[in-house]
Chain A
Amino acid sequence: GNSVTQMEGPVTLSEEAFLTINCTYTATGYPSLFWYVQYPGEGLQLLLKATKADDKGSNKGFEATYRKETTSFHLEKGSVQVSDSAVYFCALRNNAGNMLTFGGGTRLMVKP
């Protein structure tokens, strides 16, 4: 079956630090990969996506590259801000259907 594994949080960084949140997956076929962000008390917002191997998704300074050889989709940002504090979810959707499989989420806390 499909599964997504994320690094456990919380991840605590100082403002302007470099961010990496690891995500690895197990899936049949060739899934599409997504990162969602959830701010306190809100729903999930799509942050970025990649639909095939070697694609790079990017948005708001965040990037993630679809690595089929390592089955990974790590989220990176060169310089985090306090406003980036949130929970980040990695997810996949495979071509056997339209279900999303989520990782457990990683809480990011950025301190001034």
Chain B
Amino acid sequence: DGGITQSPKYLFRKEGQNVTLSCEQNLNHDAMYWYRQDPGQGLRLIYYSQIVNDFQKGDIAEGYSVSREKKESFPLTVTSAQKNPTAFYLCASSDGRDKYNQPQHFGDGTRLSIL
């Protein structure tokens, strides 16, 4: 089945440590996105990529980094510069710019906690 796979489902980070969240899609979508969701809150956009080897900052990019070396993969690194990383992280993908009536498809999320 086509879909988006996020791993791991749960992740723990020590102070001062970088961690990387995986996101893989087999939907052949051009665009991919990372969102952060805090308890009882909506979604905030961290980074997005509309095509391979290109990505843009979203609303809350500070303390995060991404890469887009392959169409199907869009890993997110939470760096030590992100002082409040505890949250639920959601990855999504969608068809390209000309298909604005198409929805984004979401993974099941990764819950990151600080030890």
Contacts and interface: CB of A to CB of B under 8 A. Distances in A.
Interface of A: 31-32, 34, 36, 41-46, 49, 51, 89, 93-95, 97-100, 102-105, 107
27 contacts: A32-B100, A34-B103, A36-B106, A41-B109, A42-B108, A43-B4, A43-B6, A43-B90, A43-B109, A44-B90, A46-B103, A49-B101, A49-B103, A89-B42, A89-B43, A93-B101, A93-B103, A93-B104, A94-B100, A95-B100, A98-B31, A98-B99, A98-B100, A99-B45, A100-B33, A104-B42, A105-B41
Contacts of A98: 31, 50, 94-97, 99-100
Most chain-B Cβ atoms within 10 A of its Cβ — which of A43, A49, A103?
Answer: A43
B6 to A, nearest CB: 8
Interface of B: 4, 6, 31, 33, 40-43, 45, 48, 50, 90, 92, 94-97, 99-101, 103-109, 111
Contact of B108 (A31, A36, A43, A49): A43
Contacts of A102: 42-43
B98 to A, nearest CB: 8
Given A46-B105, A103-B42, 15 more contacts: A32-B100, A41-B111, A42-B108, A42-B109, A43-B106, A43-B108, A44-B43, A44-B90, A49-B101, A51-B101, A93-B100, A95-B100, A97-B97, A98-B31, A102-B42
Contacts of B40: 107
Nearest to A92: B100
B76 to A, nearest CB: 14
A100 B21 CA distance: 22
B74 to A, nearest CB: 14
Nearest to B107: A43
A104 B37 CA distance: 10
Contacts of B90: 43-44
